[in-house]
A and B are shown apart, each in its own frame.
Chain A
Amino acid sequence: MIQGYVSVLLTSARQQWVYRSELVARAVQMVLFMAVFMALWFTAFEVSGQSQLEGYSLAEMVWYLAMTETIVLSSSRIFLEIGEAVRAGDLAYTLARPLSYPFFQVANSLGNSAPRVLLNLLTGAGVVTVGLQQVAGSWPGLVAFLFVAALALLLDALIAVLIGLTAFWIEEVSPVYWIYNKLLFTVGGLFLPLELFPEQLQRAVRWLPFQYITYAPARTFVKFEAGFVAETVAGQAAYIGFFAGLVLLVWARAQRRLVVHGG
């Protein structure tokens, strides 16, 4: 069974590699974002007159952003495919597969993300090294980041599948995705580490799943601590279990609404 999902993942990864121009377009986006934010953080640190903001140096802040952007720019867009399949009725032929449809899409999404992570990581690291000429993080941090980022992308894929499945109830799923995406931007800590948030907000967002997708992997890289990594993996595993259960539940309900036309 697992073998089936792994081969879906590998096939999707190979497919992504064929569309190199799209991969390059995403890398250009990475360069653009990093250029803007490097300039912004340079100015912010200069204006503040401090060498650290809430424990983050300029180099750590910029590398933190490179890591969160690596994940977000590699994240799942599978909800578009699912939404379209529900609307057009293409879902019918995928049901004949010997795999669960939502988990097939999770594997598909992870396969799409894998080559992007690699490219975005190399691009981000390249831009920051050239622009900043300072390195942050550590080798253990990088290894832990790769593991935590893989779990983050699995969590993200489950949420994206859940958003895609809402197409059974609402016509257009993109606005739901925009809101999820912006939750990653804000309470997920895409642009700013959670330590910079006001105290009460910080306490509240640490309970939410979004920080496990962006903040936690990036912090793992720039400030490697074994305890923090263990806490992160436990939190990610709990949310992965929760969202996998929710996906199964929603899929069971959605199947009752499924109408397959002939043709």
Chain B
Amino acid sequence: MKTLRLVSGYFSHNLMSAMAYRGAFLLQAVGMILNNAMLLFFWWVLFTQLPSLRGWTLNQVMVLYAVVAFGFGLANIVCGNAFLLARIVVRGDLDYYLALPADPLIHLLVSRMSLSAWGDAVFGLVVFFVAGGEAGRHLPLFLLLGLLSGLIIVAFAVLVGSLAFWVGNADNLAGQAINSLITFGIYPIEIFPGVVQWLLYTLIPAAFIGSLPAGLLRDFRWDQLALLFLAAGGLALLARIVFQWGLRRYESGNLVIVRG
């Protein structure tokens, strides 16, 4: 309950401070919507040459995009610091969170909101309604799948960001790992060879943020949904354990900052 109050408190506070600079907020969100929309162009042209790609049609690929964009948007709206964890650890900025009574991991994750991520979330929703067709009726399922996809993205970001506890400046490494997750996540998993597919279910869990949820919107199966819940829960738990474990090795920096 206390954690929920912390998350919702930060969410409304971050949103209010974004609204103070409405122009910049709108520019970033609209810029991101346009940015994402142009990525769909590639698929549109490719599907003028091919009727389908290993069972995926243009609309199905658009739904896949919608789930990843919505999940990515949610992750960065609520947990805007997830992608910055390695930098926070290396610079010794964790001190601030450790000195307060709230859970340090949750606190640091939710204390920033990415403004452009609103563009991703809105883009995801709009594309889902445009391309979903029959699936458009399954809005609650789409929202749930987006939430699980977002949870996996945050958990993975925490996991790779926590590497900074052991290897020091892991900013680039964490960035590359997150980049791989998203890059592989936005393509149907069936296009990759067998070994790569296996990797995308394990080492870089990209299949769980895009192909698997999009497959559920096309052809719902309880066992696949259970698998997705298991992956999201397991990864979140693992991220939490690794962060706590790393925290024991954390050395404070000598950075003095003033926070409002």
- A residues adjacent to B (C-beta < 8 A): 21-22, 25, 28-29, 32-33, 35-36, 39-40, 42-44, 47-48, 53-54, 170-172, 174-176, 178-179, 181-183, 185-186, 191-192, 196-198
Knowing A33-B183, A39-B196, A43-B54, the reply to whether A178 touches B35 (Cβ < 8 A) is yes
The answer, among B31, B39, B46, for a CB contact under 8 Å with A174, is B31
Knowing A174-B31, A186-B38, A186-B41, the reply to whether A29 touches B176 (Cβ < 8 A) is yes
Cβ distance B202 to chain A, nearest Cβ, rounded Å: 17
Cβ distance B198 to chain A, nearest Cβ, rounded Å: 14
Knowing A174-B28, A182-B39, A185-B41, the reply to whether A47 touches B179 (Cβ < 8 A) is no
Let me know if B53 and A47 touch, CB within 8 A.
yes
CB contacts (< 8 Å) of B45 on chain A: these are 192, 196-198
* Cβ contacts B238-257/A at 8 Å (1 or 0 each): 00000000000000000000
Let me know if B54 and A183 touch, CB within 8 A.
no
CB contacts (< 8 Å) of B193 on chain A: these are 39
Let me know if B35 and A29 touch, CB within 8 A.
no
- In the complex the two chains form, what is the Cα distance from A175 to B30 in whole Å? 8
* Cβ contacts B162-174/A at 8 Å (1 or 0 each): 0000000000100
- Closest B residue, CB atoms, query A198: B48
Chosen A-B contacts, 11 in total, with CB atoms closer than 8 Å, are A28-B176, A32-B179, A33-B183, A36-B183, A36-B187, A39-B196, A43-B191, A182-B35, A186-B38, A192-B42, A196-B49
CB contacts (< 8 Å) of A44 on chain B: these are 46, 49-50, 53
B72 interface contact, C-beta 8 A:
no
Cβ distance A103 to chain B, nearest Cβ, rounded Å: 28
* Cβ contacts B181-199/A at 8 Å (1 or 0 each): 0011001001111001000
Cβ distance A62 to chain B, nearest Cβ, rounded Å: 14
Tell me how many residues of B have a C-beta within 8 Å of chain A: 36
Q: List B22-37 residues whose CB lies under 8 Å from chain A.
A: 23-24, 27-28, 30-32, 34-35
The answer, among B27, B50, B172, B190, for a CB contact under 8 Å with A172, is B27
- In the complex the two chains form, what is the Cα distance from A54 to B46 in whole Å? 12
B175 interface contact, C-beta 8 A:
yes
Cβ distance A123 to chain B, nearest Cβ, rounded Å: 14
Let me know if B24 and A192 touch, CB within 8 A.
no
CB contacts (< 8 Å) of A174 on chain B: these are 28, 31
B52 interface contact, C-beta 8 A:
yes
- Closest A residue, CB atoms, query B41: A186
CB contacts (< 8 Å) of B196 on chain A: these are 35, 39
- Closest B residue, CB atoms, query A24: B172
Extra inter-chain contacts (19) besides given A39-B191, A47-B50, A197-B45, CB under 8 Å: A32-B176, A32-B180, A32-B183, A39-B192, A47-B54, A171-B24, A178-B34, A179-B34, A181-B35, A182-B35, A183-B38, A185-B39, A185-B42, A186-B38, A191-B42, A192-B42, A192-B45, A192-B46, A196-B45
Let me know if B50 and A178 touch, CB within 8 A.
no
CB contacts (< 8 Å) of B41 on chain A: these are 185-186
Cβ distance A57 to chain B, nearest Cβ, rounded Å: 14
Cβ distance A236 to chain B, nearest Cβ, rounded Å: 23
Let me know if A48 and B49 touch, CB within 8 A.
yes
